[in-house]
Structure 1
């Protein structure tokens, strides 16, 4: 049996009296793309820095590619491609020479590989890195992370500063990495990007993992927006039947052009909902397919935070 690509147990990080990570348990299978979702301050960057031994945990266990990052040294680092969330690139070196230097530090990569990735991302390699825009510096960071085909990619807010076309090319690179057996840990607060790229999602809130699931399961559990249009004469019967549907709430009734329109939010009571409206002779029915964002936002609604919670970035 293959070991996990990433495993943490009761991972905790404190800064004095402030707790950034509250006992995180995370298991990432090899060859999976895992999106770590959460608002700023949820603990995404802190988790990634602990995994890479940039900072040390206060307590708990960490394994990356089966090894303890605190003792594995450069041999483990060469198997990882890392893009930090705050990428600082300065100096007179050109993007090409800097990327070749990074590739050598990570065990080497063909120069043609650098050229290919740069072309796909629209990066001009001949320019000094200090003259590059934020978006182009981000492209340099992406190339250095992907170029040596690492076993594990750890990408912190990877599409920051990228235009939509380059974002799509980045997502293609992630899918290719997964198809090649590489593991990807991708943090983002842009939920739509995670939905397109990830197999699994870990939802962080205030330094705690509040859910780990596949993208499909989270979407299936999300509430759907529904709209039913009936004749005014059928209004009373419809509302009576809808009152029997589990997890159907936030009902709003309006009169539009001689019809009655009922809006609501539906959870997993789909079969009961269909049976209810079938008996009401609807004129129109719209059910909006739930997306990952609507599923995840439920973890950050009123009453979710615990008293005294504090977290890190």
Structure 2
């Protein structure tokens, strides 16, 4: 670990507290000059570190996202990688599962996605500074069973819990992966799997979560909204809350115990909707979701159960 990273660990642990240069030098077994150089490097990278004679240095949590601060805020250890820019956090997470042979979960976060991907290959609008874009890589063993729809629904419920905790806002769900607030889309979820051909099993999962936290100055689709007008919380804290709530839900997502909550917040129940699936469109009345996370649609002829589709 480089000196600057070691310094950041100390500052995050003692956020908004004064720490003397001497104590830092002693803890890291480096010179005072090396401490100053490391702090200068951190400030040049965008971190806010105050200095005052007789008191030392004080780290002020800022908008800049860092894996170190997110990990410090989490109640359990998990690997977190933060980037200024990626084409897609889901793509990075998938490549990590394949190329790095991960044996433990990995969280990937980017300040901006240049080619963010949504449901059914659609583009996901991902401007810088105003959103949170993270993907969680989940390695699996051959004994693990996967229920993709329940994973998507449980993730929606866990994100809604985080938003309620942090902002006091109640999200609604558009099956299967969209998050809404005040009739505007404010986020989405993309679950993907990596399969092993020889055993016909899944070797890994990727859960992507994208949230529009504040309005963007960039041109964006009219149906898009934001969770809040002004962000009073750091994105590090928001990310940590979402990660913690996700893993709390993930441990028992297959039980479906969150489904009553999902059904209460499901958009369109009892209303006519159209579902696009496999290049075909089905129109009917939305009934509910099954215990497997499938959509029930009442058409003129029968009640249809759908495992996937794009709701309109």
Q: Which has the higher helix share?
A: 1
| TM-score interval (norm. to shorter) | under 0.3
The structure that has the greater radius of gyration is: 1
TM-score normalised per structure 2: 0.23
